[in-house]
Structure 1
Amino acid sequence: MIPFLNLQALNQRFEDEFQEVLRRVLSSGWYIHGEECGAFEAEFAAYCGVQHAVGVGNGLDALVLILRALLETGRLQPDDEVLVPGNTFIASALAVSACGLRVRLVEPELSRFNLDPQAVEAAIGERTRVILAVHLYGRMADMPALAEIAQRHGLLLLEDAAQAHGARLGARRAGAWGLAAGFSLFPGKPLGALGDGGVVTTDNAELAAVIRSLQNYGSPIKYQHERKGGNSRLDELQAAFLRIKLRYLDADNQARHDIARRYAKGLDRRLSLPELPTEGEVHAWHLYVVRSEHRDALQQRLLKAGVQTLIHYPTPIHRQAAYRELGGLSLPATERLSEQVLSLPIYPGLSAQQVDHVIDACNDFAAIEPNSSVREH
């Protein structure tokens, strides 16, 4: 069986280095908010090309803390509206709801899976204050277009970069386009810890300071609490592991890109394939997502051929019980994607032979399903 993601093999590459830093952290006696976390924050900020990075407990917390900091500083008010892609993971919407803000779902571009700038423009209303751009599957949203829209309408532009570590447009990486960005460091992400973790990036010193306060009980100084904060901290051991993996991130992203190119060259065009990045663009390839009108049958055929796949995401946000208040919403593009998308294996260490086996299994299915292509509407 070709696993969808082989985390054991991915992390065993660094076992000797992990053992070394484990001994270092253990012997330090300092396990929260110490030198390792501070060093990771500085290194990740430099990597993204921003002034500040704040390590937090997970990717959801990263988004919540950004929005809470904006509320604390008066740049947002309760019940303000945030534009969120309809086809993202539910965490993007949950962060908005957790802060007492309104979720407004917006359709994606079918070709890129990311926010459609025209749909964003059309969705802006009286209470709209934020555009939350999600770099879905590792490809950056159209940030120049979204930044222009945000500036023209006086909106805040934020990034959900949970899947896009190392992605960039031109010289600017994910995490350096909006006022702030939230990253997940969940183990399966392009830059993944060996447990939960997250990080916020920003060039705004005030925002970074408020987030640091909120993630540590609202306390900039021990036992002095300026805000009603919480506890969302990146621990020393995970930070030490992440410092090692950050050094290999670009090489790992290149490995994913090479696999994506092999898929693009070999897969039958009766499947709808993701676009390869344009010149000057780097796609992190967190996921390689094809589309088929017979997605479920394709998934079963691949499973029988020894290929594990996943669906990201089978039920859109507005059809989830948690968002039953949005149940009457019609989002045709989002709904179509939820019915058609299938994620194929893509990760460093996947051999050429394994990739070719996935290609052959997909093409065998396409050959016997003459109507397996995706029709655009």
Structure 2
Amino acid sequence: MVHSEQIPFASLDGMHGEIREEMLDAFLRVYDRGQFILGDECKHFEREFADYCGSSFAVGVASGLDALTLALRALNVSSGDEVIVPSNTFVATALAVSAVGGRVVLVDPDPKTLNMTCQGFRSAITKSTKAVIPVHLYGQAAEIAEIARVAKERGIAVVEDCAQAHGATYDGKHVGTFGDAGCFSFYPGKNLGALGDGGAVITNDRLLGEKIRELANYGSVEKYHHNVKGTNSRLDELQAAFLRIKLPHLNGYCEDRTRVAQRYLAEIKNEKVILPTIGSRRNHVWHIFSIFCEARDELRSHLEKRGIGINCHYPIAIANQRAYEKDGLPQLPLANQIAARELSLPLYVGMTEEAITTVVEAVNAF
């Protein structure tokens, strides 16, 4: 049995220990070259990441939120346009809509996979709907093929939020490649994480990719010539260099996370706990292992007293956030149930079998 205070919710040691020397070499390579923005490291990473995802183009940006915002701007989503968003996502998905002046329209997800369904999307479409943001939450895809098909029929843009789904697929095809654009975060804790903030947009549309790149670089293609009112959102050379080292390991990272998840799925047996469901036609890369419990706060306390790190994704639904209190967003029942009952268990690359056993036994003892 692992002693208390020794099981963190997340740890990067299992990834970073193995590649420490490569990462230090990458730092020195960029440091000695002396070019820290818009250099070869970013160009190479964009090509490599696009190839990994099966996409034609990738544009490195400063964060996952910027990726979403820039994609919406490039697709001409603006003031008064409705954008359909899952009710149980992280607030960044909604903030991107707000940043371009759009109106957030919330829909509840599939109660089992907790991801957007085509039926939910279809039910929320109005004449003002300009875009939809399916979020591939926790590490598995939404019903993205069906959503993309209906959106195309209705002339609605599709911006996939892939911030938690690096390596996830639907019908064997990588998320981010079904819609107009796929948006990724490289926050350090992601399955593919930088050593700071970072993000990317992938697309098969060359003109859209060029527009996103222009918007992210002060609205400029040629230095000091500003065609549109852009912003500053660029993936820096250091982060790109680090990501280039980690990208070839991504599938291995996802496999190791699956090892942990499979033990949880097989060994947690507590009638008070609902385990996650993997939807059909998709894999799961287990960015987050979410369980649900009516007595969530009591279970949280029970685990914390045993030194087990846990988290909640997300304890306040978007409609209840102070930032959105004046927007009149609807109180959707499933979103509030998820917020009140979700608990995320420790899951990280290199988690020991002993640590997994400790978590399993603690959950089962509740």
TM-score (structure 1 length as normaliser):
0.93
Correspondence 1:81 to 2:86: no
The residue that corresponds to 1:255 in the other structure is 256
Q: Given the superposition, is the C-alpha separation of residues 99 and 319 from structure 1 closer, same or farther in structure 2, using an over 3 Å criterion?
A: same
Alignment of 1:153-302 (within 5 A): 153-270=154-271, 271-276=273-278, 278=280, 281-302=282-303
Shift of the 93–328 alpha-carbon distance from structure 1 to 2, 3 Å rule, reads closer
Secondary structure of the 1:60 match is helix
Q: CA offset at residue 145 of structure 1? A: 1.9
- What runs of 5+ residues in structure 1 fail to find an aligned partner? 366-377
Report 1:76-115 matches (<5 A): 76-115=77-116
Instruction: Kindly state the Cα deviation for residue 320 of structure 1 after the two structures are TM-superposed.
Output: 0.5
Equivalent pair of 1:319/1:327 in contact (CA under 8 Å) = no
Aligned match of 1:7 in 12, 22, 42?
A: 12
2:74 pairs, out of 54, 60, 69, with 69
Distance 1:90 1:129 in 2: 20
1:60 to 65, 72, 83: 65
Are the counterparts in 2 of residues 316 and 335 from structure 1 also a CA contact under 8 Å?
yes
Q: Is the Cα contact below 8 Å between 2:12 and 2:349 reproduced in 1?
A: no
CA RMSD of aligned residues (A): 1.2
Q: 1:45 aligned to 2:50?
A: yes
CA distance in 2, matches of 1:272, 1:104: 28
Superposed displacement of residue 135, structure 1: 0.4
The one-letter code of the counterpart of 1:137 is Y
Shift of 1:149: 2.0
- Whether the aligned pair in 1 keeps the contact of 2:113 and 2:278 (CA below 8 Å) is no
Q: Describe the superposition over 1:227-283 as per-residue Cα deviations: whole angstroms up to 9, x where unpaired.
A: 1111001111110000011010000001111111100000014110001464x6321
Q: Which amino acid aligns with 1:273?
A: L
Task: Output aligned runs, 1:26-41, within 5 Å.
Answer: 26-41=31-46
**Displacement of 1:9 after TM fit?**
4.5
Secondary structure class of the residue paired with 1:129: strand
User: Is the 8 Å Cα contact of residues 145 and 170 (structure 2) preserved in structure 1?
Assistant: no
Asked if 1 retains the 8 angstrom alpha-carbon contact of 2:311 and 2:343, the reply is yes
**SS where residue 354 of structure 2 aligns?**
helix
Runs (5+) with no aligned partner, structure 2: none
Identical positions, percent = 45
Question: Is this contact kept in 2: 1:48–1:175, CA < 8 A?
Answer: yes
1:157 deviation in Å?
1.5
| Partners of 1:21 and 1:352 in 2: CA distance | 32
Q: Please give the secondary structure, in 1, of the residue aligned with 2:133.
A: strand
Q: How many residues align?
A: 360
Q: Any idea what SS the aligned residue of 1:182 has?
A: strand
Q: Tell me the CA shift for residue 325 of structure 1.
A: 2.5
Distance, in Å, in 2 between the alignment partners of 1:269 and 1:112 is 19
Report the TM-score, using the length of structure 2 for normalisation: 0.96
Task: Give, as a single letter, the amino acid of the residue that structure 2 aligns with 1:10.
Answer: M
CA distance in 1, matches of 2:125, 2:288: 30
Q: Which residue does the alignment assign to 2:132?
A: 131
Structure 1 residue 330 displacement after superposition: 2.1
- Assess if the C-alpha contact under 8 Å between 1:111 and 1:274 holds in 2: yes
The alpha-carbon deviation at position 117 of structure 1 amounts to: 2.2
SS at match of 1:162: coil
Mapped to 2, the partners of 1:238 and 1:29 lie a distance apart of: 14
Aligned partner of 1:370 in structure 2 is none
- 8 Å CA contact 1:37, 1:236 repeated in 2: yes
Secondary structure at the aligned position of 1:248 is classed as helix
